[in-house]
Each structure stands twice: as structure tokens, then as C-alpha cells.
């Protein structure tokens, strides 16, 4: 059976957690393949809100195994907290969760290095979530990192202190950064991790696929934050695109089946970096309010703007998207008119391609009438207003990929299968 992938086509927060939760019953295994606790995936069940940072969003379903893949970077403190919080709400976690031995660990000093690096950049800062993501991936590619499989080794603490000493030298000598380090909480969380089920994720998935099991790979962040193809350097440090699922889980390319590409009916971004269709006006504020656009991980206000079709097309191509999912059209209800970027005016001319330099690209917009109806009660295509159907048709035609789900609210019930 194939590995289907669900990932974000914009700058993250497209609603991945919600949709993974909704489609999980079709899968035996849900697996996170990259990123770490920079992610905040929200799931609303009967009005109760859960935000997951490391645990895959299939965890609320009884019969699904949730794998934290080798490509993920894990903060043991966050993982411990997350498991305990879910258990406190009566969600069974330990029997349904596996952690890859090859996943790298985020140390307390990685978080300090993240903060020190950001502080040193002044107004050029990336706007990192300060969860230690960049420094941990740097240690991974620099071949200095510590992995989950090492925590049971006799010399783990020695290895920890060796890497920590390298970090403190950097904090002192390179960044002149002031800090205190909490070893105890980290080492306690490491002890906690020893009680969790670990596995060779790649072997586990190979056997599962061979025996006919279905796997859903859950992306974090979004295509425009990808280390290779995002708005560099204002990106995260992992491969957020479909190819990242192969690396981050150890599954072969030919095992990939559907690629669900999820996007909002408009656009948001948290942190710094270019955002050509950004609305720095009352309209932007209106959308932020109506959409409750505040970061699920850091609480920062999200920047808002119009839908950007050239960037969506770029994302669709890189990921090989087979199915589109649109969220949050309900947020735009009652606007008189909405705009969509269809082309860019760049120093090289007018283009529908994603420009290399987003800072010097001026969006060219088309205007669309907006739906006036409240969509949050819609559960079937027949209930969808004609103006929204025509907006969706514009997107499908531009991207040449069909829409398969339309989400109309945060709750897991607020969704429908969609066909034009």
C-alpha cells in the first residue's frame, strides 16, 4: 500500500492538524517526517482544542499508530509535557506512539543558540520560534548531534556534556550571550523518553507497507518555509516538501501515493521574510481577527494577505500535489470583494512563475465577488454558495489539480468532500 503525504502549500498553519485528524480513520499509521516543536497543529473535538507540537495528529483515534519519524527533531521536555497533557485529558498515547531511534534530540543549549543567533541578527532576524530547530539540524548535518537511539547508551550523559560544552563555548565566545542552563529538567525528560516505545522507523514502515497497511505522512510548516525551495533565508531548517517524507521516514519514492496539498483561502505568515500579497491595512486586520490568526506555538499575530496563485502553483509542482484541500473560506464570508494574485510584475517582466526575489516582485491581482453566507454549517457541496464554487474553480483551473476537501471551520465536523 502507498504512503500518502499531507503537507502545507503556504507558510505553515494551513490547517494540517485538523485535516490529518479528519482523514486518519482511512490510515493505519500517521507519521511526522520533519520539523519539531516549532509546529503547532490544532485539532478541535467537541469544542475542545488541542495543540500538538511533536505528536502526530492521528493520536485521537484508537486504532492508529503514530510514528515520530527520523527526520523530526525532538525536544524531550516538550514531548514529555505533550504526552502528559494528552493523558491528563484521557487520551491514550503510549501504546499508540512510536519514536524513531534515528530522530535527533534538541538540547537546552540548542534553544539558547537559537535565541543567541536571532539576537545577533538584529532586524535581519528570521523570526524563529526559538525552539532550537536550526541549531539542532546544524548539529545533525555537522555530524555532532545526539539521537534517540543513544539515550540508553552508558555514555549518553558524557556525550550530552561534550556537546553542551561546545555550545557553551559558542554562546560565550561567539555570541557573548547571557544564559542559565537547566540540565535537570532535560535529563528527567530523557529518563521519561526511555519509557516510550522506540523503533527502527524505516524497518517498521517497510514491514507495515508490505503487509498492506496504509500510511499517512504528516508535514509540518509549509512549502514556502522549505530549506531548499522556501523564501530563503527566511525559512525553517528542514525539507517540508513531499520529497522530505522519503528522507524523514526512510520510505522509497515509488511508495508515495497521493499528495494532499493544503492551503488557506487567503495567506498567512508568522515571523520575518517577504510576503508579496501581505495586507498591512484594515483588511489585513479584519482577516486576522475573523480567522483568529495568532500562532499556535508562540501566540504571535500572524501576518495576513490575499491568496497567491503563482506561489501555490510553484508549491503544487514541487510537491506533485494530486489533491487540493482548502481551509478557512468561512473566514472571508461577508467581505464585499476578495483579490487573488495571478501574476507578478518583476524586473525580468510579467510572470506566472515564482520569482527568485520575492522582495522585488509586485503582485498583479484579479478581483472576485465574495460569498455572503455563513459557511460554518455547510456539510455538502450542494450547500456551498455559487460565488465560492466559482472561486474554487478559478484555483483548480490555475493549478490544474482538483479540490477534494473543503474545510469550513476549526471543528473536525466542519468539513466536506468536494467535487466541482
Residue numbers annotated as active site: 13, 41
| Smaller CB separation from ligand GDP, 234 or 260 | 260
Q: Least distance to ligand IMO from the beta carbon of 33, Å?
A: 12
Site string for Mg ion, 274-303 (x = CB under 5 A): ----------------------x-------
Is residue 236 exposed (0-12), middle (13-18) or buried (19+ Cβ within 10 Å)? buried
Q: Which residues pair with 42 in a beta bridge?
A: 51
| Smaller CB separation from ligand GDP, 38 or 100 | 38
- Residue 401's alpha-carbon distances to 316, 325, 330, 392, 404, in angstroms, are 8, 10, 22, 11, 9
Backbone φ, ψ for residue 278 (5° rounding): -60, 140
40 binds Mg ion (CB under 5 A): yes
330 binds ligand GDP (CB under 6 A): yes
- 150 alpha carbon, distance to own chain's centre: 27
135 binds ligand IMO (CB under 6 A): no
Backbone φ, ψ for residue 39 (5° rounding): -75, 150
- Judged by beta carbon distances under 5 to 8 A according to partner kind, the member of ligand IMO, Mg ion, ligand GDP, none in contact with residue 408 is ligand GDP
Quote the strand ranges of 122-211, DSSP E.
198-199
224 binds ligand IMO (CB under 6 A): no
Q: Least distance to ligand GDP from the beta carbon of 58, Å?
A: 13
d(CA 113, CA 30): 31
- Judged by beta carbon distances under 5 to 8 A according to partner kind, the member of Mg ion, ligand GDP, ligand IMO, none in contact with residue 133 is ligand IMO
225 binds ligand IMO (CB under 6 A): yes
Q: Least distance to Mg ion from the beta carbon of 24, Å?
A: 17
Among 40, 108, 284, 310, interactor with ligand IMO by CB under 6 A: 40
Backbone φ, ψ for residue 223 (5° rounding): -60, -35
78 binds ligand IMO (CB under 6 A): no
- Judged by beta carbon distances under 5 to 8 A according to partner kind, the member of Mg ion, ligand IMO, ligand GDP, none in contact with residue 331 is ligand GDP
The 10 Å CB-count burial string (b at 16+, else e) for 129-163 is: bbbbbbbbbebbeeeebbebbbbeeeebeeebeeb
Residues forming contacts to Mg ion in the complex (CB under 5 A) are: 13, 40, 296
Amino acid at each position: 500500500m502507498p504512503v500518502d503525504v499531507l503537507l502545507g502549500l503556504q507558510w505553515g498553519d494551513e490547517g494540517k492538524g485538523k485535516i490529518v485528524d479528519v482523514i486518519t480513520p482511512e490510515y493505519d499509521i500517521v507519521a511526522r517526517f520533519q520539523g519539531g516543536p516549532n509546529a503547532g497543529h490544532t485539532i478541535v473535538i467537541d469544542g475542545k482544542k488541542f495543540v500538538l507540537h511533536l505528536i502526530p495528529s492521528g493520536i485521537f483515534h484508537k486504532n492508529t499508530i503514530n510514528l515520530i519519524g527520523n527526520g523530526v527533531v525532538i525536544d524531550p521536555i516538550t514531548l514529555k509535557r505533550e504526552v502528559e497533557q494528552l493523558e491528563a485529558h484521557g487520551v491514550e498515547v503510549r501504546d499508540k506512539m512510536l519514536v524513531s531511534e534515528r530522530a535527533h534530540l534538541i538540547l537546552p543549549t540548542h534553544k539558547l543558540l537559537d535565541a543567541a543567533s536571532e539576537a545577533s541578527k538584529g532586524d535581519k532576524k528570521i523570526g524563529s520560534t526559538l525552539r532550537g530547530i536550526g541549531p539542532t539540524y546544524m548539529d545533525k548535518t555537522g555530524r555532532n548531534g545526539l539521537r534517540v537511539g543513544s539515550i540508553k547508551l552508558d555514555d549518553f550523559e558524557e556525550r550530552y556534556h561534550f556537546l553542551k560544552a561546545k555550545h557553551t563555548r559558542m554562546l560565550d565566545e561567539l555570541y557573548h550571550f547571557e544564559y542559565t542552563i537547566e540540565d535537570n529538567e532535560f535529563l528527567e525528560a530523557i529518563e521519561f523518553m526511555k519509557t516510550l516505545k522506540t523503533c527502527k522507523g524505516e524497518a517498521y514502515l517497510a514491514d507495515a507497507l508490505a503487509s498492506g497497511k496504509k500510511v499517512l505522512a504528516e508535514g509540518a510548516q509549509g512549502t514556502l518555509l522549505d530549506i531548499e525551495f522556501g523564501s530563503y533565508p527566511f525559512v525553517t531548517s528542514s525539507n517540508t516538501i513531499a520529497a522530505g517524507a522519503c528522507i524523514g521516514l526512510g520510505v522509497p519514492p515509488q511508495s508515495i501515493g497521493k499528495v494532499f496539498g493544503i492551503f488557506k483561502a487567503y495567506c498567512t505568515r508568522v515571523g520575518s521574510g517577504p510576503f508579496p500579497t501581505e495586507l498591512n491595512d484594515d483588511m489585513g486586520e479584519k482577516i486576522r481577527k475573523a480567522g483568529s490568526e495568532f500562532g499556535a506555538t508562540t501566540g504571535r499575530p500572524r501576518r495576513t494577505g490575499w491568496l497567491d496563485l503563482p506561489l501555490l502553483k510553484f508549491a503544487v509542482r514541487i510537491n506533485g500535489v494530486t489533491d487540493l484541500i482548502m481551509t478557512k473560506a468561512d473566514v472571508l464570508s461577508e467581505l464585499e470583494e476578495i483579490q487573488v494574485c495571478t501574476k507578478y510584475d518583476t524586473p525580468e517582466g510579467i510572470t506566472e512563475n515564482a520569482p527568485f526575489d520575492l522582495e522585488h516582485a509586485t503582485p498583479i491581482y484579479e478581483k472576485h465577488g465574495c460569498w455572503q453566507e455563513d459557511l460554518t454549517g455547510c456539510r455538502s457541496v450542494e450547500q456551498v454558495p455559487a460565488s465560492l464554487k466559482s472561486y474554487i474553480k478559478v484555483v483548480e483551473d490555475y493549478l490544474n489539480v482538483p479540490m477534494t476537501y473543503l474545510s469550513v471551520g476549526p471543528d473536525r465536523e466542519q468539513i466536506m468532500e468536494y467535487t466541482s
